[in-house]
C-alpha cells in the first residue's frame, strides 16, 4: 500500500518490477543465441536466476535515480550481500558452480568495493582489496539498519567469504529501462525486418511478461526454459514477415460477449443472417469472428504490418470468390423462386463461407476467423450477401434518418 509520506512508492515499485522483467528477458535473448540448454526464473533464489548447464547465475537488480553512488556502506550493496550470504550458509547454492551479479544503475565510486569487483575486462578488479574494504566498512559502521546484513556476512567465515567475493561481479551505471528496450529492439531487428522489430518485440515482451507473472505467482512453477523460449521466438519470427501476419492471443480469445460486440445486434451483417433465418447461436459465432477480424486487422494496420492496398486486394479476392457462387445460385433459382427456396439456397452460400471459404490474406496466415470475419465485414457493407435479394431488402437500413419521409 502506498504510504501518505511517500505517494510515489507504488510507482517506484512498479518501475522496478518492469526493470526486472526487461533484464530477465534480455538475458533470455542473450542465452538463446548460444543454444537451448538453459532456464531463467524470476524471484526464485534471486531477482533473476539463470541455470546454464550445471552453472547458476544469481542476479540482484538495483534501479536507482540518477547521481546515486554505490558506496561501501550502501544499503543496496549490503542487502545484496545479506541475501547471498544466507544462500551460502544455509546450503541453498553450490558456491563452486554459482556466479553472483549485482546490476545497479548507480555509479561506482573509484576504489570502492563495487568498483574493485567489476569484471576482469574492466582492468580494475581486485578481489582482496574489495574484501578488505567490505570488512573495514562492516567494522566501522554503527548502522542498526544494516545489522542483519553484517551478521550474515560474519556468519560466512573467512574461507566462504573470500570464495563468495571471488565469484561476485558488480555492474555499475547499468542501462536503464529505455536503454534495455533499445537493446532488445536491436535483437528483434536481427530476427525480422527492422520495420517490424517493434511489433515483434511487443509480442515477445507480452508473452514473456505474462509467462513470468505466472511463474512468480505460483511457487515451484517451472522457469522459462531455453527450448520454450526458442519455440516462441521462432514462432513469432515466422508470423511476422513476407508470407505471414501475427495472430495475437488476446484477440484470438475475444468472444461475442466482448465490449466491441455490444452494438452488434444492429449491424447490417447480423440483419443479413436474420434475413435467411440463421439461428442465434450461429449469429453469435459470426459476431465473434467479426469482432476478432476487425480487431486483428486494425492492429495490423496500426502497426504498419500491412502492405499498401493489401486489405483492399484481399477483400477483392473474397468478393470475387463469392460472386460466382452467388450468381450461380440466382441463376438456378430463376425469377419464380419462393421465399422458402431462396432462404434454403442462401443458407448454402453462407455455409460455404462458414465451413469452406479459406482464402488467406497471406500464405502463412491460416487463422480461420480472419477469413470468416472479413466476410462478415463485407456483408456489413453490403459488398456480399446471402439472400438473393439482400441488397434491396436491406437498403432501408442504410438510409439516413428521416430520408423515408422527406426530412433532412
CA distance 30 to 395: 59
Mean pLDDT of all residues in 299-318: 97
> What tens digit of pLDDT does each residue of 380-408 get?
999 999 999 999 999 876 665 444 444 33
Mean pLDDT of all residues in 326-348: 96
Residue 225 forms beta bridges with which residues? 39
Mean pLDDT of all residues in 362-373: 97
pLDDT at 259 (0 to 100): 61
pLDDT at 372 (0 to 100): 98
Mean pLDDT of all residues in 39-64: 92
pLDDT at 404 (0 to 100): 46
Question: pLDDT category, 262, cuts 50, 70, 90?
Answer: low
Mean pLDDT is lowest, of 1-15, 91-105, 244-258, for 1-15
pLDDT at 407 (0 to 100): 36
Phi-psi region of 364 (alpha: psi -120 to 50; beta: other; left: phi over 0): alpha
Mean of per-residue pLDDT scores for the chain = 91
Mean pLDDT is lowest, of 6-20, 102-116, 194-208, for 6-20
Mean pLDDT of all residues in 215-224: 87
Phi-psi region of 59 (alpha: psi -120 to 50; beta: other; left: phi over 0): beta
Q: Is 57 helix (H, G, I), strand (E, B) or coil?
A: strand
pLDDT at 12 (0 to 100): 63
pLDDT at 172 (0 to 100): 94
> What tens digit of pLDDT does each residue of 149-173 get?
999 999 999 999 999 999 999 999 9
Q: How many CB atoms lie within 10 A of CB 121?
A: 7
Nearest in space to 40 (alpha carbons), one of 265, 308, 228: 228
Amino acid at each position: 500500500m502506498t504510504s501518505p509520506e511517500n505517494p510515489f512508492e507504488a510507482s517506484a515499485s512498479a518501475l522496478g518490477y518492469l526493470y526486472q522483467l526487461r533484464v530477465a528477458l534480455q538475458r533470455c535473448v542473450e542465452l538463446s543465441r548460444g543454444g537451448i540448454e538453459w532456464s531463467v526464473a524470476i524471484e526464485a533464489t534471486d531477482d533473476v536466476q539463470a541455470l546454464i548447464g550445471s552453472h547458476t547465475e544469481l542476479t540482484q537488480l538495483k534501479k536507482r535515480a540518477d547521481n546515486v553512488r554505490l558506496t561501501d556502506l550502501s544499503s543496496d550493496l549490503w542487502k545484496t550481500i545479506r541475501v547471498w550470504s544466507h544462500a551460502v550458509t544455509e546450503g541453498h547454492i553450490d558456491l563452486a558452480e554459482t556466479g553472483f551479479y549485482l546490476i545497479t544503475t548507480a555509479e561506482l565510486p573509484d576504489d570502492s568495493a563495487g568498483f574493485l569487483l567489476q569484471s576482469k575486462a574492466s582492468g580494475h578488479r581486485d578481489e582482496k582489496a574489495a574484501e578488505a574494504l567490505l570488512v573495514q566498512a562492516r567494522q566501522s559502521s554503527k548502522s542498526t539498519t544494516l545489522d542483519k546484513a553484517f551478521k550474515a556476512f560474519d556468519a560466512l567465515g573467512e574461507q566462504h567469504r573470500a570464495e563468495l567475493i571471488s565469484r561476485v561481479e558488480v555492474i555499475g551505471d547499468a542501462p536503464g529501462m529505455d536503454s534495455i528496450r533499445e537493446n532488445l529492439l536491436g535483437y528483434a531487428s536481427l530476427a525480422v525486418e527492422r520495420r517490424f522489430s517493434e511489433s515483434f518485440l511487443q509480442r515477445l515482451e507480452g508473452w514473456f511478461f505474462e509467462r513470468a507473472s505466472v511463474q512468480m505467482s505460483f511457487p515451484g512453477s517451472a522457469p522459462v526454459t531455453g527450448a520454450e523460449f526458442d519455440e516462441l521466438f521462432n514462432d513469432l519470427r515466422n508470423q511476422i514477415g513476407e508470407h505471414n501476419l501475427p495472430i495475437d492471443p488476446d484477440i484470438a480469445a475475444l468472444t461475442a460477449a466482448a465490449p466491441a460486440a455490444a452494438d452488434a445486434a444492429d449491424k447490417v451483417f447480423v440483419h443479413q443472417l436474420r434475413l435467411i433465418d440463421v439461428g442465434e447461436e450461429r449469429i453469435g459465432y459470426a459476431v465473434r469472428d467479426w469482432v476478432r477480424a476487425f480487431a486483428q486487422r486494425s492492429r495490423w494496420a496500426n502497426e504498419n504490418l500491412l502492405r499498401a492496398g493489401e486489405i483492399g486486394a484481399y477483400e477483392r479476392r473474397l468478393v470475387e470468390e463469392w460472386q460466382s457462387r452467388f450468381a450461380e445460385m440466382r441463376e438456378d433459382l430463376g425469377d419464380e423462386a419462393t421465399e422458402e427456396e431462396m432462404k434454403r439456397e442462401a443458407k448454402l452460400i453462407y455455409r460455404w463461407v462458414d465451413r469452406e471459404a479459406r482464402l488467406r490474406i497471406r500464405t502463412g496466415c491460416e487463422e480461420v476467423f480472419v477469413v470468416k470475419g472479413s466476410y462478415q465485414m463485407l456483408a456489413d457493407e453490403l459488398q456480399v450477401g446471402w439472400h438473393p435479394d439482400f441488397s434491396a431488402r436491406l437498403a432501408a437500413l442504410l438510409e439516413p434518418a428521416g430520408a423515408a419521409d422527406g426530412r433532412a
